[in-house]
Amino acid sequence: MKTVAPYKPLTPSGKGISFENRPLEDFSKEEITELLNKYHWIAFKKNEISLDDLTNYLEQFGSVVKNDRRDGAVLKVDGGKKEEVFLGNGFLPLHKDGLLMGNNVGMVSIFCMEYNEVSDGRTFITDIENAINEVPNEIQDLLRAKGMDVKPLDAYYLTSSDKWYHMSGFLEVDGKEYLNIGFPYKRGEKSSWLTQIEGLNEDEFYEVFDVLDKAVMDPKYCYFHDWEKGDILLFDNRKTLHGREAFKGQRALANIQVVFEK
C-alpha cells in the first residue's frame, strides 16, 4: 500500500489537512481513504462542484444516506427553520452525525453552496484520538461503563422526542476506540437535543462534561473552519466529533452522508 505524502496538519496534534489548489474530484478513492485514515478530516477550499457530481463521487465509498428529510442524498442546511435549532441557525455542540437518525454514518461531506454576509457559524471538528489522553481515566471508565443517553428535541430527527437513546461511550474503529457521544447544551440554551448519564445528577453530569469539553475543545486538537462559498469539509464521522457555532446571515450548506458497506 502506498503512503500519502506528509502534509501540514490543521491541528498541532497532527490531524486535519487542507487543499487550496487541488479539487476533491482529482483524488482517487484510495488517496482519500488513506488521507482520512491518517488525518481524519480534509478541507477543500473553493472547490466548486455540482451536488450531483459530489454525490456521484461520494458513492464510490459506500451508500449515501437518503431519507424523507433529504432531497435525494442532500440535506440543505440554510438556517431557514427558525423555530428549530439544527435547521435554524443555533449552536450545535460536538456530536456525530446519525446517532439520532438511526444511521451508522461513516463519512460526512459538507459543501458550502451559498455564503452572504454571514457572521460566525464556523464548523468545528476535533481530534478525539489524541484529546482523549487529556481526559482522566475515571471519566473514561465512567463513559465506558455507562455510555450516555440523548433525547432529540428538534422535529428534524427521525427518532422520537419521547424517548432517550443510548450511546455506548466509545466506538471501536480499526483497533482503536473513539468517543461516541454528543455534548450537552449550556443550561438554559435553546437546544437541539437533551443529554444525561444514568445515575448522575445534573451537577455531576456537567462536571464530567466540563472536563471533556476542556480536553477536546483545546486548540491543540480542535479546528475551526471559516466557510467560503465552494468549500468542502470531508470527515470520518467515527473518529471525530464536530459542531457548529450559531450564525447570522444567509448561507446554505449541503450535507451528504456515506454509510460504509461492511
The residues binding Fe ion (CB under 5 A) are: 97
The distance of closest approach from Cβ of residue 188 to Fe ion in the complex, given in angstroms and rounded to an integer, is: 22
* 211: three-class secondary structure by DSSP: helix
The distance of closest approach from Cβ of residue 204 to Fe ion in the complex, given in angstroms and rounded to an integer, is: 27
Select 168 or 255, whichever has its Cβ closest to Fe ion: 255
The distance of closest approach from Cβ of residue 134 to Fe ion in the complex, given in angstroms and rounded to an integer, is: 23
- The grid coordinates of residue 136 equal 482522566
**Nearest residue to the partner Fe ion, using Cβ:** 97
* 107: three-class secondary structure by DSSP: strand
Amino acid, single-letter form, for residue 145:
A
Residue 112 CA to residue 100 CA, distance in Å, equals 23
Among 197, 170, 194, residue whose Cα is nearest residue 181? 170
Select 57 or 86, whichever has its Cβ closest to Fe ion: 86
Residue 192 CA to residue 168 CA, distance in Å, equals 20
Cα distances from 56 to residues 3, 64, 93, 150, 230, in angstroms, run 25, 9, 30, 33, 17
Select 97 or 236, whichever has its Cβ closest to Fe ion: 97
Select 104 or 140, whichever has its Cβ closest to Fe ion: 104
134: burial class by Cβ within 10 Å (0-12, 13-18, 19+)?
middle
The distance of closest approach from Cβ of residue 178 to Fe ion in the complex, given in angstroms and rounded to an integer, is: 16
- On whether the CB atoms of residues 246 and 120 are closer than 8 A, the answer is yes
The distance of closest approach from Cβ of residue 3 to Fe ion in the complex, given in angstroms and rounded to an integer, is: 30
Select 142 or 195, whichever has its Cβ closest to Fe ion: 195
* 11: three-class secondary structure by DSSP: coil
Select 97 or 154, whichever has its Cβ closest to Fe ion: 97
The distance of closest approach from Cβ of residue 154 to Fe ion in the complex, given in angstroms and rounded to an integer, is: 12
